[in-house]
Chain A
Amino acid sequence: MGLKRNLGSVLCLLIIVWITFLAVSYLIAITIFYTLEYSQTAIFLSVLRVIIGLAIASGWVVVWYKLTKFWLYRILLRREET
């Protein structure tokens, strides 16, 4: 039973990670790209676009790590033994 519960829990975590990945893509699409995609001063803004995109992606990775840490220590390891 322990393995099935842990497996279900990890799958839930991965669904959350997947949804946040799509949410971050959507966020970038409606903000940065919407503002910068059709701009005339191409080079500066394209560099800026990439930097902001990477910063958001890095932020997502950090959130993913914090979430996994929470999942392991607060949910999986804290559970009462059966």
Chain B
Amino acid sequence: MLEVLTAFIVTFITMPLALKLGSSLGISGIDIHKPWKPIVPKTGGLAILIGAVTGLLLNLGLGGGILPGVIAVSCLIAAAVGFVEDFREEINPRLKPLLLLLPSLPIILSGAFTPRPVIPFLGKTRLYRVYPAMVFLSYPIVCNAVNSIDVLNGSMALTSLPFFAMSMAIFYIRGDYQALILSAVFLASLLAFVPYNKYPARVFPGNSGSLFTGAAITSIAIVGRIEIAAIIALLPQIMNEMHIIFSLGGIKSAKKFKARPLKMENGFLTASEEVDAPITLLRMLCAKAKIDERSAVYAMAVISVFTAFLGLITDLLFIEGAL
């Protein structure tokens, strides 16, 4: 548990430094959902990364095998893609998914996966040829899904935490304490980030933070063999990303579209009624209502807790007995 505590403390301590770095280098973004439009550093991902990777490396040093190292490299590759966007500009939306295939390589090359996922009613399948391809594709899907939900103060962290809590519960029940610790390291790092990122945010995770978290979720799901529970727990994020892509008619930058999913009215969020506006989770929550940002984030968190619970039920009913 030393790794978990370390991840929390290191993230919490390095966050003010990351905040200062973002302010001094001008790596910041406008918080568009506030009437006064504050400029907020988007370097929170750096502190999340430093905290979590420190925890993982400590686990490696304490005899956790190569797994924490493999996961750390995978997450760092995803974060590197995010850093390019945070430091420079948005990567071509068609190139980005291709770059996000790269975090899968450490997992595939090290063989840190079991190509026999258990699917409800089917039991243990034999996907020796297909599973590596699924690992390959899962990173861009989940990373972009987590990235797409990072729209309000605290939304990325508060919607990702339930997944890690669910995975810890499953690993505890299964008796897989190594996977439990790895999951807890990421949970601790995100928890330490929340006080800085909750409404009104002092720092944003940036694309580096959200892609790092997306890669962490994917890695834990694959290595820990909780693929189906992860899909169920991530339904809000996947739904959000998938519907944006469907609404835009393909993988395109949402910034290029005039119709926005939300409008601001007297400091409150309300859903756009335009038919060509992208369908997002937040737009559904704000339909025919005026919602303050803090309440909208809590609603998104409630949805994630609920789907994480569904994921846990699914795992206990259909997966654990067949493993």
Asked if B199 is an interface residue, CB under 8 A from chain A, the answer is no
Asked if B288 is an interface residue, CB under 8 A from chain A, the answer is yes
A13-31 interface bits toward B, Cβ cutoff 8 Å, 1 = contact, 0 = none: 0110110011001101110
Q: Is the CB of A76 within 8 A of B288?
A: yes
- Residues of A near B275 (CB, < 8 A) are 73
| Residue ID in chain A nearest B270 by CB atoms | A2
Known: A21-B232, A69-B279, A77-B271. A6 touches B289 (CB 8 A): yes
Q: Is the CB of B235 within 8 A of A17?
A: yes
Binds A, one of B7-15, B51-59, B70-78, B300-308: B300-308
- Residues of A near B236 (CB, < 8 A) are 14
Q: Which of A42-79 contact B (CB under 8 A)?
A: 46, 50, 61, 64-65, 68-69, 71-73, 76-77, 79
Q: Is the CB of A50 within 8 A of B130?
A: yes
Q: Which of B132-150 contact A (CB under 8 A)?
A: none
Q: How distant is the Cα of A18 from the Cα of B235 in the complex, in angstroms? A: 9
Q: Is the CB of A14 within 8 A of B285?
A: no
Total CB contacts across the A-B interface at under 8 A:
96
| Residue ID in chain B nearest A81 by CB atoms | B288
- Residues of B near A61 (CB, < 8 A) are 242
Asked if B112 is an interface residue, CB under 8 A from chain A, the answer is no
Q: How distant is the Cα of A5 from the Cα of B288 in the complex, in angstroms? A: 10
Q: Is the CB of B242 within 8 A of A65?
A: yes
Q: Give min CB distance, B209 to chain A, whole Å.
A: 25
| Residue ID in chain A nearest B277 by CB atoms | A72
Q: How distant is the Cα of A14 from the Cα of B127 in the complex, in angstroms? A: 28
- Residues of B near A9 (CB, < 8 A) are 284
Pick from B243, B287, B318: contact of A6, CB under 8 Å = B287
Q: Is the CB of B310 within 8 A of A14?
A: yes
Q: Is the CB of A14 within 8 A of B242?
A: no
Q: Is the CB of B314 within 8 A of A6?
A: no
Known: A10-B285, A65-B242. A29 touches B291 (CB 8 A): no
**What 9 A-B pairs are tightest by C-beta distance, nearest first?**
A2-B289, A76-B287, A29-B121, A25-B120, A26-B121, A29-B122, A7-B299, A25-B121, A6-B285
A residues engaging B (CB < 8 A)? 2-3, 5-7, 9-11, 14-15, 17-18, 21-22, 25-26, 28-30, 33, 46, 50, 61, 64-65, 68-69, 71-73, 76-77, 79, 81
